[in-house]
Amino acid sequence: MTAGVVIIGMGNALLSDDGVGIAVAHAVAERLQHRTDLTVTELPAGGIRLMEAMAGYRRAVVVDAMLSGAAPGTVQRFDPRDFVTTKNTFSSHDTDFATAFDLGRLAGVPLPEQVSFWGVEAREFDLFGERFSDEVAAALPLAVNRIVAQIVEWEAAA
Amino acid sequence: MKRITIDPITRLEGHGRIDIFLDDQGRVENACFQIPELRGFEQFCVGRMAEEMPVITNRICGVCPEAHHLAASKALDNVFGAEPTSVAKKLRELLYMAFFVTDHTTHFYALGGPDFIVGPDAPPAERNILGVARKVGLEVAGEVIACRRRNHEIITFLGGRSIHPVAGVPGGWSRAITAEERTQIEAAASKNIEFARFSLSIFEKIVLKNPVYREMITSDTYLHRTYSMGTVDASNQANFYDGMIRVIDPQGREFLKYHPSAYREHIAERVEAWTYLKYPYLKGVGWKGLVDGVGSGVYTATPLSRLNVSEGMATPLANAEYQRMYEAFGCKKVTAARYEPIHHRMATHWARLIELLYASERMLELALDPEITSPETRNIPNPDRFTGEGVGSVEAPRGTLTHHYTTDERGVLTMVNMIVGTTNNYAAISMSIKRAAERLITSNAPDESILNRIEMAFRLYDPCFSCATHFLPGKMPLTVRLRDYQGATLREMRRKA
């Protein structure tokens, strides 16, 4: 049995824009904590860890930095079906998210019915620091609004 | 010089790349990873209070935060001149054994195992943990997940937080465990032992009994006669949490034994013109390039090298498996308990499973230690013993990890230096890639096979570049380009995710 929503912020909060997923996850949780059964989780590495972080929840939202070549600050939603990877959802130490999800199914892990992935294009991702680049800082409220809207929509449809 | 580049397609994976350099005759001259390092870590730390390091450094890497947390805590013990209490050391080691079990289990079933269990030439879509489960039995998927879960739970309450532990403090550990928690740890450790033995039995049944895979392990494709490094306890047996650094030469003679704080006296770094990667090597031997032998300062710090330097294993079941492995390779004993070193790098996978069993047994020993629930988890630092400098070292699953800090008289950091596990093995990894490339690039083997054999060469080292670097192509989209002198592409091989 699964219940509630988990929002998973991926990345490293000490690595400039790589921490944007974590910041967005906390901001979304703050906006929704009074109306939804919402849990926020920080996660530095993907693969099997990411699958495990969703276990037990009915819905999961994953927010991560991405490096797709788009303009820094671009916010994009991915459907799990056509999803390849954002910056941290793949683990070089075990496997990609899709394989990890199938592994969880095989192992009988209670996994969410709905999962969505959000990417925020990073500019600075290999420099230690706790500040976002201007484009990413500007994109943060937009990403929060869109994810909040999505969760509200999910809840309404339920 | 011609160059073959394996570089991933997108900007994301473009951060890690393998270069293979050919000479004018088209022979492989050198091979290396090209991995840009993360920038600014030392500047990020300098000026902060030293006590922050265990919680900062454990965020460098999402793969082994526990190793960084403990190395940092041990460095702080020395900065503050505060020797941890006996139970504090045991609690740290206990957390570390639970971490080793999850890490080695995951590597075997998700990364290393697929090459053997599913097969090196199986399509990549099958050569993963799901393929392993289909071959070994679907219930193994549940076993792997259950193993991770029971050990992650223990790491969480022992370390005070999930994923990024916070319990390490100068002079000890910030929390004791209850009798109930101890019982849970004991039960988990017993299950870990069973699971480790099961994993070794799979290795025996599917790998060692299959002549093709046995040949893969014992062939000289990945054979390099280098020096071996590992941490040993007072009996010269492998220990992952604490001890002296022992180095043996390619014949198995002890070459060095030193306290981790003396690392700079024994390890130097070589810069080569064709890569910005720095290769650590043994100062006392010297750098001769990417070559093996007693005259080359190249060394490894891996599960296999840790067993090579160890006088048997400190726990009984692991020791029996240790003996079995060395005897299977026909190694003669060089001391009462130790054998000639194994240099066949594919045996690292076997050694990793023996370490998995050792970590499980050690975890049970610690859980059964009468002192383990003692509340005396910390010695409060005495300002008179403050030193302002400390080195902390542990064996990370992928090699010896060293943290070194200096501070001013207030404990504010003035210098931070680290040698992470994988860094030790840069030269050796490059040598294995080179060897794989030599055998393959002039052949007409299919692209997929070439890519995988090169990947197998680095996968056996279980490299983790998250902490020093950003990314490594694992089962990601890869492109291999063979380029001529002018840079024109002669052949391109591509794998999509």
Q: pLDDT tens across A9-23, in order?
A: 999 999 899 999 999
By CB atoms closer than 10 A (0-12, 13-18, 19+), residue B383 is: exposed
Task: Name every residue whose Cβ is closer than 8 Å to that of residue B31 and which is 6 or more positions away in sequence.
Answer: B18, B19, B20, B21, B290, B430, B431, B433, B434, B437
Which residues on chain A are in Cβ contact (under 8 Å) with B44? 14, 128-129
Q: B91 near B84, Cβ under 8 Å?
A: no
Q: Which residue has the higher pLDDT, A104 or B478?
A: A104
Contact between chains at A69 and B128 (C-beta distance less than 8 A): no
Separation between Cα atoms, residue A143 and residue A28, nearest integer Å: 9
pLDDT for residue B98 is more than 90: yes
What pLDDT does residue A9 have? Answer: 96
Count: domains in chain A: 1
What pLDDT does residue B39 have? Answer: 72
First-to-final CA distance of chain B: 30
**Domain extent for A24:** 5-157
Nearest CA-CA distance, residue B427 and chain A, Å? 20
Q: What is the pLDDT of residues B203-218, one digit of tens each?
A: 999 889 999 888 888 8
Select from A42, A48, A102 the Cβ nearest to the Cβ of B110: A48
Separation between Cα atoms, residue A62 and residue A77, nearest integer Å: 10
pLDDT for residue B175 is more than 80: yes
Contact between chains at B11 and A67 (C-beta distance less than 8 A): yes
Separation between Cα atoms, residue A21 and residue A81, nearest integer Å: 21
State ipTM.
0.91
Q: B414 near B408, Cβ under 8 Å?
A: yes
Q: What is the pLDDT of residues B187-202, one digit of tens each?
A: 999 999 999 999 999 9
B236 touches chain A (CB under 8 A): no
Q: Which two tokens stand for residue B444?
A: 């007409």
B110 touches chain A (CB under 8 A): yes
pLDDT for residue A40 is more than 90: yes
Which residues on chain A are in Cβ contact (under 8 Å) with B471? 92
Q: What is the pLDDT of residues B362-402, one digit of tens each?
A: 999 999 999 999 999 999 999 999 999 999 999 999 999 99
- Secondary structure of B297-310 as H, E, C letters: CCEECCHHHHHHCC
Which residues on chain B are in Cβ contact (under 8 Å) with A85? 12, 476, 497
| DSSP secondary structure code for residue B51 in this structure | G
Across B347-351, B424-428, B457-461, B483-487, which has the greatest mean pLDDT? B347-351
Q: Which of A105, A1, A114 is nearest to A52 (CA)?
A: A105
What pLDDT does residue B6 have? Answer: 38
Q: Which two tokens stand for residue B301?
A: 């710090």
Say what percent of chain A tops pLDDT 70.
96
Nearest CA-CA distance, residue B177 and chain A, Å? 25
Query: What are the sequence ranges of the domains in chain B?
Result: 2-38+441-495, 84-223+344-380, 224-343
The average pLDDT across B1-15 equals 36
Q: What is the pLDDT of residues A76-122, one digit of tens each?
A: 998 776 666 677 777 767 788 888 999 999 999 999 999 999 999 99
pLDDT for residue B484 is more than 70: no
pLDDT for residue B246 is more than 80: yes
Interior CA angle at B441 toward B447 and B130, to 5°?
A: 40
The average pLDDT across B265-284 equals 85
Q: B431 near B29, Cβ under 8 Å?
A: no
The average pLDDT across B415-440 equals 86
The average pLDDT across B105-110 equals 93
Which residues on chain A are in Cβ contact (under 8 Å) with B130? 99, 102-103, 106
Residues 53-82 on B with a CB inside 8 Å of A are 56, 59-63, 65
pLDDT for residue B324 is more than 50: yes
Separation between Cα atoms, residue B466 and residue A47, nearest integer Å: 14
| DSSP secondary structure code for residue A81 in this structure | G
pLDDT for residue B46 is more than 80: yes
B429 touches chain A (CB under 8 A): no
3-state DSSP assignment of residue B369 = coil
What pLDDT does residue B207 have? Answer: 87
By CB atoms closer than 10 A (0-12, 13-18, 19+), residue B423 is: buried
Question: Residue A53: pLDDT band by 50, 70, 90 thresholds?
Answer: very high
Q: B63 near A45, Cβ under 8 Å?
A: yes
Residues 119-158 on B with a CB inside 8 Å of A are 128-130, 133, 138, 141-142, 144-146, 148-149, 152
3-state DSSP assignment of residue A112 = coil
Q: Which residue has the higher pLDDT, A65 or B34?
A: A65
CATH of the domain at A143: 3.40.50.1450
The average pLDDT across B29-58 equals 82
What pLDDT does residue B112 have? Answer: 85
Q: What is the pLDDT of residues B111-153, one digit of tens each?
A: 888 888 888 788 877 888 999 999 889 999 999 999 999 999 9
Select from B142, B145, B471 the Cβ nearest to the Cβ of A92: B471
Quote the distance between the C-alpha of residue B435 and its chain's center. 21
Looking at 3.40.50.1370, 1.10.645.10, 3.90.380.10, 3.10.310.10, the CATH number of the domain B84-223+344-380 comes to 1.10.645.10
Question: Which of A44-53, B110-119, B348-357 is the least confident region?
Answer: B110-119
Question: Residue B3: pLDDT band by 50, 70, 90 thresholds?
Answer: very low
Say what percent of chain B tops pLDDT 90.
63
Provide the number of CB pairs (under 8 Å) joining chain A to chain B: 119
The average pLDDT across B298-308 equals 98
